[in-house]
Amino acid sequence: MQFYSNPIPSSWSALQQRAAAGEAPQVAARVRAIFGQVREQGDAALLTLAAELDKASLTSLLVSEAEFTAALAQVPADLQAAIRQAQANIEAFHAAQREPELRVETMPGVFCSRRAVPVQRVGLYVPGGSAPLFSTLLMLGVPARLAGCPQVVVCTPPQSDGTVSPVILFVARLLGISTVVKAGGAQAVAALALGTASVPAVDKIFGPGNRYVTAAKQLAAAEFGVAIDMPAGPSEVLVIADETANPVFVAADLLSQAEHGPDSQVVVLSTSAAMLEQVQAETTRQLATLPRRDVAALALENSRAILLPDVAAMLAFSNQYAPEHLILATDNAEALAAQVTNAGSVFLGHLTPEAVGDYASGTNHTLPTSGYARQYSGVSLDSFIRKITFQRLSATGLRALGPVVETMAEAEGLAAHARAVTLRLASLATSDEDSSAVGAAAAANPYAGLIRPSVERMQAYSSARDEFEGMAPVMLDANENSLGSVGPDDFSRYPDPHQRAIKVELARLKGMAPNQIFLGNGSDEAIDLLVRLTCTPGGDDHIVICPPTYGMYEVAANLNDVRVERLLLTSDFQLPANAAEVLAASTAKLVFLCSPNNPTGNLLAQQALETILRTFKGLVVVDEAYADFADAPSWTTRLEEFPRLVVLQTFSKAWGLAGLRLGVAYAAPALIAYLDKIKPPYNISAATQQHALAALATAPSLDQMRDELLAGRQDLARQLPQLPGVAKVFPSEANFLLVRFNTDATAVYDQLRARGIVVRNRTTQPGCAGCLRLTVGTAVENEQLLQALTEIGRGPAG
Ligand SMILES: *Cc1c(COP(=O)(O)O)cnc(C)c1O
């Protein structure tokens, strides 16, 4: 190791010189000759060069299935497990580098987006020979796979017996890579760049290698239109070791770099001369027992130990050197890390050797050397993708942006550019003249622009039972098993996909037509389908909800990757005064309005809803799960007037049939037809249909049940405010009460649970701090609830 004590900054760049800078001209000439040979003779050249340079006589260039299989048996179990752990970490870190598609409306009607698309064909060079670097295959193969590159070709030099290292084949198998070519050196790179009968040409070549591989990659990039991961040079490390460093660790890190090759670069900086001396002594001591000590010793001859006056000087030196690996062997590594401006990868603190990043922490070990860390990043997921930008203008967008572009194009004297805009603007002007016709068409179709284009385009699934009504004596159309028809309830047949009988009965009961009814597996299914009907996932489409409200609206949106906008209710749980205005200006596809609202229990003011129904361009979904308990007409009576109105009801609440899972959407027949188009074919089970029909036959008895519940609600609403701890009972038009406690509501909730009474904790809902939602139960249950709350309110006895 060479020592330098406080060198003046003007001398630093000499100390930062890398060893093998500048390629010998004979290397470049040899590589060019190899490219010529591969271009002319293809596979034959690769076979000849394998014999000549790798001393391997090959019969085939591609690793065979039998060789893959044989390799697996040769890799020890502990190594397999270690590789799997490394793979998991590298996958975790690189998968997190994925970015969602970017979409920005830069001005109204001008939509710009950017999407990551994998490089289609990639070649991974994995050095073999004396030290097969299977870790390199992990570092390159994992991100290539995560990026989704359709074609991944691995090249690695054959051993002299014509085989490839079994560990490399094991890793290839693990990553699902099946094209492994027995070719190394410049000829492998030439084959990847030019293509041969056995080796597909690729778009980008990755991986480290010797001087010939490096020169070949440069030639491929310069003359054959192939991209490469980064310029490569010998590996290097710089260690910043202050007086808190452990010289034993530092020496081990220096040696782990030095053993890579005689041209490896090792630099250690310290503010302590004693530390540098200890590191030197330790390095000599540890070197003696290294198997690769000859290589390491050569590398150490070029290495440098430099004493600098302070931390700032060490950081300045390091940033100027731009090391591939930087180890901060100090107690305050985090603080120093913040000041690192040039480095490939940084290892913080005393317990983080470079070796962990080389193999398994999760970061990539393919890093810029020779000072390229000033301009390049290491390999990452980004190295395997390109980001394609897209733009689309609507008529509004073209009208706004067109003149801007015309002006700029004319100023640059590019008349054809200007004309491409002018012609389109002119065509918009003529179509504006018959825009009154377009307006009329929009009025005729109240769902214009509301239904997902993919739904408009798609063919609905046609079930076997769709083609006719009723059952023939012999039904062999739906692959049912009629031998299974046993017992009083025969479930051997698919149910009516359109639930005609229920719709007829329900329509009669509600004074509507069967084609205004959609039945869902719970209203929850209708909620999900409404989101899916209108919103294309992952795009600009979005919905509006009005919290505090029923949680499934947001879940349905999240599940469908659809954005949610929130219009918060006021403190008395009504729509804010500007709600209609906000919605009229909104491009949301639908708004969910729950009335009576869950969990607050109140009806939303009729006037506010009417204005929204008049002015909002999207669907207005009024969820009336609790309408039967409310003293107000159902919004179903307004369906004819408002074609974009959807009313949800359910058999789960007033009907006392939550276990059936039967929900109803009422809407205009055209909208119901869309829901039918996208629903699963037999979404309502035969059991549910049977039970629902029976319940509809006895519907009048519902009145009695409801009266009893309303009496219970009234009782609770009267008694709850008397209890200790109860601050407020909100008025309710539903079969539950929202109650605010002036004590810790969650504690009350927990104590109720401990007594076997489960209620709903709504304390985290907007506007619901301190609130529990209590369902009205039977008279006995209500009494138990009051009793328990009384005891909890009094506090521990005694
Ligand atoms: C309970 C409830 C539903 C019912 O959903 P189902 O799936 O029919 O049981 C729907 N909306 C609201 C607001 C509810 O509280």
For residue range 469-501, what is the model confidence (pLDDT) as tens digits?
677 788 888 888 877 766 667 888 899 999 999
Q: Distance (Å, rounded) from C-alpha 503 to C-alpha 574?
A: 33
664 and 538 in one domain?
A: yes
Q: b/e string for 20-44 if b means 16 or more Cβ within 10 A?
A: beeeeeebbebbbebbebbbeebbe
The CATH code of the domain that includes 62 is 3.40.50.1980
- pLDDT at residue 797, as a whole number: 55
Q: 522 CB under 6 A from ligand 1?
A: yes
Average pLDDT over residues 763-779: 95
263 and 206 in one domain?
A: no
61 and 14 in one domain?
A: no
- pLDDT at residue 471, as a whole number: 74
Distance in Å, CA 33 to ligand 1 centroid: 75
For residue range 271-330, what is the model confidence (pLDDT) as tens digits?
999 999 999 999 999 999 999 999 999 999 989 999 999 999 999 999 999 999 999 999
Q: What pTM was estimated for this model as a whole?
A: 0.58
pLDDT band at 798 (very low <50, low <70, confident <90, very high): very low
Q: Which atom of ligand 1 is nearest to the CA of 525?
A: 7
Residues contacting residue 413 through CB under 8 Å, at least 6 positions apart = none
- pLDDT at residue 429, as a whole number: 79
Task: Pick the closest to residue 775 from 762, 763, 766 (CA basis).
Answer: 762
Q: Distance (Å, rounded) from C-alpha 352 to C-alpha 367?
A: 17
Q: Is 324 a catalytic residue?
A: yes
- pLDDT at residue 466, as a whole number: 74
- pLDDT at residue 704, as a whole number: 86
Q: Comparing 75 with 699, which gets the higher pLDDT?
A: 75
Q: 689 CB under 6 A from ligand 1?
A: no
Average pLDDT over residues 254-258: 94
Residue 334 phi/psi, 5° resolution? -60, -45
Q: Distance (Å, rounded) from C-alpha 553 to C-alpha 528?
A: 8
pLDDT band at 22 (very low <50, low <70, confident <90, very high): low
Please report how many Cα atoms fall inside a 13 Å half-sphere around the Cα of residue 383, on the Cβ side: 28
Active-site residue, from 94, 259, 282, 325: 325
Position 637 in a domain: yes
Q: 598 CB under 6 A from ligand 1?
A: yes
Position 412 in a domain: no
175 and 91 in one domain?
A: yes
- Consult the annotation and say whether 229 binds a ligand: no
Q: Distance (Å, rounded) from C-alpha 657 to C-alpha 546?
A: 27
669 and 573 in one domain?
A: yes
Average pLDDT over residues 574-592: 95
Q: 597 CB under 6 A from ligand 1?
A: no
Q: Does pLDDT of 99 surpass 90? A: no
Residues forming a β-bridge with 110: 107, 393
pLDDT band at 443 (very low <50, low <70, confident <90, very high): low
785 and 642 in one domain?
A: no
Q: Which of 670, 697, 724 is the last residue of a domain?
A: 697
518 and 547 in one domain?
A: yes
741 and 691 in one domain?
A: no
Position 733 in a domain: yes
- Consult the annotation and say whether 325 binds a ligand: yes
Position 427 in a domain: no
- pLDDT at residue 438, as a whole number: 47
- Consult the annotation and say whether 16 binds a ligand: no
Q: Distance (Å, rounded) from C-alpha 440 to C-alpha 429?
A: 18
Position 346 in a domain: yes
- Peptide linkage before 669 cis (omega within 30 of 0): no
- pLDDT at residue 432, as a whole number: 62
Q: Number of H helices and number of E strands within the chain?
A: 29, 25
In what order do the strands lie in the sheet containing 345-348? 2-5, 304-307, 265-270, 236-241, 325-329, 345-348
Q: Is 243 a catalytic residue?
A: no
Q: 16 CB under 6 A from ligand 1?
A: no
- pLDDT at residue 287, as a whole number: 95
- Consult the annotation and say whether 417 binds a ligand: yes
Mutate to test the pocket of ligand 1, among 623, 626, 773 (most ligand atoms within 8 A of CB): 623
- pLDDT at residue 409, as a whole number: 95
Position 406 in a domain: no
Q: 372 CB under 6 A from ligand 1?
A: no
Atom 4 (ligand 1) nearest CA: 523
- Consult the annotation and say whether 466 binds a ligand: no
Average pLDDT over residues 353-372: 96
Position 377 in a domain: no
Q: 265 CB under 6 A from ligand 1?
A: no
Q: Does pLDDT of 439 surpass 70? A: no
Distance in Å, CA 726 to ligand 1 centroid: 27
Helix/strand/coil for 240: strand
Q: Which of 362, 390, 416 is the last residue of a domain?
A: 362
User: DSSP letter at 466?
Assistant: G
Distance in Å, CA 652 to ligand 1 centroid: 7
710 and 659 in one domain?
A: no
Q: 524 CB under 6 A from ligand 1?
A: yes
Mutate to test the pocket of ligand 1, among 521, 569, 598 (most ligand atoms within 8 A of CB): 598
- Consult the annotation and say whether 260 binds a ligand: yes
Average pLDDT over residues 51-55: 94
Q: Distance (Å, rounded) from C-alpha 566 to C-alpha 652?
A: 27
Distance in Å, CA 580 to ligand 1 centroid: 25
Q: Comparing 74 with 462, which gets the higher pLDDT?
A: 74
Average pLDDT over residues 159-184: 95
Active-site residue, from 236, 259, 282, 324: 324
pLDDT band at 223 (very low <50, low <70, confident <90, very high): very high
Q: 523 CB under 6 A from ligand 1?
A: yes
Position 352 in a domain: yes
Q: Which of 300, 329, 362 is the last residue of a domain?
A: 362
Distance in Å, CA 773 to ligand 1 centroid: 15
Distance in Å, CA 520 to ligand 1 centroid: 11
Q: Is 129 left (phi over 0), alpha (psi -120 to 50) or beta?
A: left
The CATH code of the domain that includes 636 is 3.40.640.10
Q: Comparing 178 with 475, which gets the higher pLDDT?
A: 178
- Consult the annotation and say whether 350 binds a ligand: no
Domain that includes residue 343, residue range: 2-18+234-362
Residues forming a β-bridge with 125: 155
CB 723 within 8 A of CB 590: no
- pLDDT at residue 534, as a whole number: 97
Helix/strand/coil for 319: helix
For residue range 616-651, what is the model confidence (pLDDT) as tens digits?
999 999 999 999 999 899 999 999 899 999 999 999
The CATH code of the domain that includes 742 is 3.90.1150.10
181 and 255 in one domain?
A: no
Average per-residue pLDDT for the chain: 93
Q: Distance (Å, rounded) from C-alpha 2 to C-alpha 232?
A: 25
For residue range 711-739, what is the model confidence (pLDDT) as tens digits?
999 999 999 999 999 999 999 999 999 99
672 and 613 in one domain?
A: yes
For residue range 108-127, what is the model confidence (pLDDT) as tens digits?
889 898 989 999 999 999 99
Mutate to test the pocket of ligand 1, among 529, 530, 552 (most ligand atoms within 8 A of CB): 552
- Show contacts of 4-7: CB within 8 Å, 24+ apart: 4/304, 4/305, 4/306, 4/307, 5/273, 5/307, 6/307, 6/308, 6/309, 7/306
* Number of domains making up the chain: 4
729 and 605 in one domain?
A: no
Distance in Å, CA 415 to ligand 1 centroid: 61
- pLDDT at residue 444, as a whole number: 67
Percent of the chain with pLDDT over 70: 96
Q: Distance (Å, rounded) from C-alpha 771 to C-alpha 148?
A: 49
Average pLDDT over residues 405-413: 95
For the chain, the residue count is 798
